[in-house]
Structure 1
Amino acid sequence: MKKNIHIIGSGFSSLAAACYLAKAGHNVTVFEKNETIGGRARQLKKDGFTFDIGPTWYWMPDVFERFFADFNKTPEEYYTLLKLAPGYKIFFDQNDALEISDNLNEIITTFEQIEKGAGKKLEKFMATAKSNYDIAIKDLVYRPGESITELITLETAKRVNQFFSTISKDVRKKFKNKKLVQALEFPVLFLGAKPSNTPSFYSFMNYADFGLGTWHPKNGMYSVIEGIGKLALELGVKIETNQNVEKILSEDGFAIGLQVNGERRFADIIVSGADYHFTETLLPENQRQYSEAYWDKKTFAPSSLLFYVGFDKKMKNVAHHTLFFDTDFELHAKEIYDTPKWPNEPLFYASFPSITDEHVAPEGKEAAIFLIPLATDLEDTPELRELYFEKIISRFEHITNQNVRNNIIFKESFCVNDFKEQYNSYKGNAYGLANTLLQTAFLRPKLKSSKVQNLYFTGQLTVPGPGVPPSLISGKLVANLIKKYE
């Protein structure tokens, strides 16, 4: 039966849910508090430069293909993809860098050149990673996290030991060279937890990296949001921006609508793709499933300090995606997860989309995004932001052998306070709830409220977890659950 469904937020998971629910015949309205759609995947335009404010990595192209195929469409009908070669570059020190090819055979050759025997070991490791990918991404992540039985299959039973070992242990058993270890531990950082806390089964992220490659949507990741937004409109979804949701209206244990900009907007079903913790604060306390103590004990993915910088010249010695692992990875991880504080010497990441995409910077100029992973809920001041920009730009100049400080046209920053203010993000987290063993699948916050009927959740704090592809999947999962229960 056709229902009126209101969705809070317009990030990847919300837009995906909207598409599936509209396809099922429902009247769907999306309410976005900001001026433009996209949630954390918004865009900054300034002086002829264009930056993705949020996600910049396009991995797991098959998940996007599967999403569009559900509507008899292809990604190519909505945006253009370019495969990056190299996928990315990792600096360990000045004149000491590792380029990750767009071809697995070339990566295997590179590993063998760095450490004798590592090529064959990588080949074997990647066979397991691909097998895990086929099980996880083609099957398990499309289950709604309602019960432990979803994880119990013949294939997972064969791999039960992989849920009780860690990526870090597995990688370090096989590879001794520090550069190779860090290259293999890097992809699970997208899951929001330390490699030493991430189950071995998640090696499927290595297949996403080395096996499927790194891609760039022309005009940036925001073109993917625009594409899914266009699909939603084609399916009949109504999208309203500048709409601040102030309260979830309920009556006799049922969600009956939203209070938006002071106006009561009634609906049969409510779906929230906004921050899960924030969404529950829109309800009376006795209708919230999870207490403040519950959230406080959870392991959250990091926050970030981001800089969006326009340079008046092209950069040298860098790739589209460039990682700076020239400091102590384990110490920085401790400063995020174990003893939360501003890091002493942080690792950082830099993206230069204008290397690949002429549309994102004026000719002869460079658009750059710098990101430092941080603990959540840190003090965030303009002085601290400036101090850390100085730290990383000095290291950037030294490691890449170039002077760039005087070529900065402008820089904008985004940090903990902005995540809280603009996205109502719990403790200012950037990526949601980390995928540790005790925060996987049915152990994550539920898609369906147990306290309020016809209230549902989607996004990176519920199943399957952090990242853009999981967010798309989360939208499908919540739509399927609504079909099941409503």
Structure 2
Amino acid sequence: MKTTIHIIGSGFSSLAASCYLAKAGYDVTIFEKNSTIGGRARQLKRDGFTFDIGPTWYWMPDVFERFFSDFDKRPSDYYTLEKLNPAYSVYFGKDDFITIEDTLEKICIAFEKEEKGSSKKLLKFINQAKSNYDIAIKDLVYNPGLSPFELVTPKTIGKLNQFFSTIKKDVRKEFNNNRLAQILEFPVLFLGAKPSATPSFYSFMNYADFGLGTFHPKKGMYQVILAMEALALSLGVKIKTNSSIDKILVNKAGEAKGLNSNGVNYYSDYVLSGADYHHTETLLDKEFRQYSESYWEAKTFAPSSLLFYVGFDKKLRNVNHHTLFFDVDFGLHAQDIYDNAKWPEDPLFYASFPSITDGSSAPEGKEAGIFLIPLAPGLEDTPKLRETYFNKIIKRFETLTSQKVSDSILFKESYCVNDFIKDYNSYKGNAYGMANTLLQTAFLRPKLKSKKVKNLFFTGQLTVPGPGVPPSLISGKLASELIVKDISTNKKITTRTLKQNENNF
């Protein structure tokens, strides 16, 4: 009889794990609380416009390649990728921006125009970042976070000092130009912490940015979710939507034995949760929870976000597919996220216009716009605040890009702290999980395997390797490998016990 495994949630990590576990021969069922799969990576469709609700950046294509190759597939079997050129642009003032193109050579030219001699420093910096990338993404992040010794390899010994310095220190030591420094500090924001709190080793994100480039899946990031769903279904995975979980069933022996969903018990041999880690533990009786409320309260969480999905009745000018607006003080905004936990007076923001690249995102002659303001998790979230901040960024957007757009808005929909809590049971409404600071790296993150409940495992952005889409794919693989190992160990123990019993007769 097949081992049965129930998975909570259908985001990237859950879908990845389901594929690996089904390939290993197990009976796998995914339970998704929402009406559509994808977790934070769902889609919004309205009036001929299509928006990715969550992730919009496709970085580290090699991680996606590696995932699909584990099943003798390629991303191109499911969706079409386009490398963006330019990758993105960064505004620092009215009609004042730096464009990051699709090759390191072109980026060096842009840096040199901004500051003479900076291209040589950039090449040195990216060479170091590539070295870190080769170690981290091809090796370290595929460890399950069980021991500090996972970080100690012949390749990392010489880089230990990089775990005790920070991205900000390294960048500012080489680059005096504040604009160039901000561009180099930007990629680690995907890891959920300030550059001043992110270890230098994470400069591998700069290689992902400048070395590998930025891509767009035709029809949006949701195509990756649909690809993983198709793969999972082909392997025999079953998916139940509209299936909120009320409780994880634990027997008297302290073993996870299934889930209660919508008042019905569904029994299984193993449970894997890709849902919010903190929320998952609330589905257990207190005696089975590993981490206290004070533990979670003390952790540094990645930001939440205020997002707007906007349909414009015309094509916009002076913007690229991805456009960053760094025209205000980055340090003050960062303090309001990580130190003061309040709504920022003058927020930085990011905008994505997928219809510039992809005609399927908006009707002809119109533009789909996604605007994002990073926020501290746990903030008050009201319709009035949302409207206030929309007006703030749209006025700045109009000034910076020298165009009137407010009278061309067909509709807008917003998404913020309350929605992250409602749709994903997200701790304090965070958007990206737990930040990758020094004390929240690798073995110092919440564990993939429960220490208190047998046969209960976790995956996703609050555990290893951390926040982001590629790490989520890796997290699903790591969790599945631990489950496969656990099943194999239990079978050996059972077989040995049976043989011992037979010898007693």
TM-score by length of 2: 0.96
Q: Any idea what SS the aligned residue of 1:64 has?
A: helix
Aligned match of 1:287: 288
**Aligned pairs for 1:388-427 within 5 A:** 388-427=389-428
Match of 2:59 in 1: 59
How far is the alpha carbon of 1:117 from its aligned partner? Answer: 1.4
Partners of 2:7 and 2:481 lie apart in 1 by 15
Displacement, 1:194? 0.1
Within a 5 Å distance, the mapping from 1:59-458 to structure 2 comes to 59-251=59-251, 252-458=253-459
Deviation of 1:320 (Å): 0.1
Deviations 1:320-355 (A, max 9, x none): 000000000000000000011000000000000000
Shift of 1:8: 0.2
TM-aligned CA deviation for residue 242 of structure 1: 0.5
Q: CA deviation at 1:68?
A: 0.2
CA distance in 2, matches of 1:364, 1:348: 25
Report the alpha carbon displacement of residue 409 of structure 1 after superposing the two structures with TM.
Answer: 0.3
Structure 2's unaligned 5+ residue stretches are 488-505
Q: Secondary structure at the match of 2:131?
A: helix
Aligned residue type for 1:426:
Y
Alpha-carbon distance between aligned partners in 2 of 1:31 and 1:344, rounded to the nearest angstrom: 40
C-alpha separation in 1, matches of 2:242 and 2:341: 34
Q: What SS class does the counterpart of residue 154 from structure 1 fall into?
A: coil
Could you give the per-residue CA deviations for residues 261-306 of structure 1, whole angstroms, max 9, x where no partner exists? 1000000000000000000000000100000000000000000000
CA RMSD of aligned residues (A): 0.6
Aligned partners of 2:153, 2:335: CA distance in 1, in Å?
35
How far the C-alpha of 1:115 sits from its partner, in A, is 1.1
Give per-residue Cα distances to partners, 1:85-112, cap 9 Å, x unaligned: 0000000001110000101011112112
Q: Determine the C-alpha separation between the residues in 1 that align with 2:109 and 2:399.
A: 29
Higher Cα Rg: structure 1 or 2?
Answer: 2
* Matched letter for residue 409 of structure 1: L
Deviations 1:175-201 (CA, angstroms, capped at 9, x unpaired) = 011110000000000000000000000
Structure-1 residue corresponding to 2:503: none
Report the equivalent of 1:35: 35
**For the residues of structure 1 that align with 2:421 and 2:242, how far apart are their CA atoms?**
17
Runs of 4+ residues over 3 Å off in structure 1: none
- Deviations 1:441-483 (CA, angstroms, capped at 9, x unpaired): 0000000000000000000000000000000000000011111
Q: Name the structure 2 match of 1:469.
A: 470
Corresponding letter in the other structure for 1:356: T
Comparing 112-121 and 283-292, the one that deviates more: 112-121
Alpha-carbon distance in structure 2 between the residues aligned to 1:431 and 1:447: 18
Tell me how far 1:2 sits from its aligned partner.
3.3
Aligned-partner Cα distance in 2 for 1:68–1:93: 42
Deviation, 1:116, is 1.6
Structure 1: which 5+ runs fail to align? none
CA distance in 2 between counterparts of 1:284 and 1:14 reads 23
1:408-466 CA deviation, whole Å, 9 max, x = no partner? 00000000000001100000000000000000000000000000000000000000000
- C-alpha deviation, 1:155, in angstroms: 1.1
Residues in 1 aligned to 2:32 and 2:486: alpha-carbon distance in whole angstroms = 26
Distance 2:79 2:114 in 1: 38
Identity %: 71
Residue 116 of structure 1: SS of its match in structure 2? Answer: coil
For 1:380, what is the secondary structure of its paired residue? coil
Q: Secondary structure at 1:193's aligned position in 2?
A: coil
CA distance in 1, matches of 2:95, 2:157: 45
**Secondary structure in 1 aligned to 2:40?**
coil
Task: Provide the C-alpha distance between the structure 1 equivalents of 2:239 and 2:411, rounded to a whole number of angstroms.
Answer: 33
Cα drift, residue 114 of structure 1: 1.2
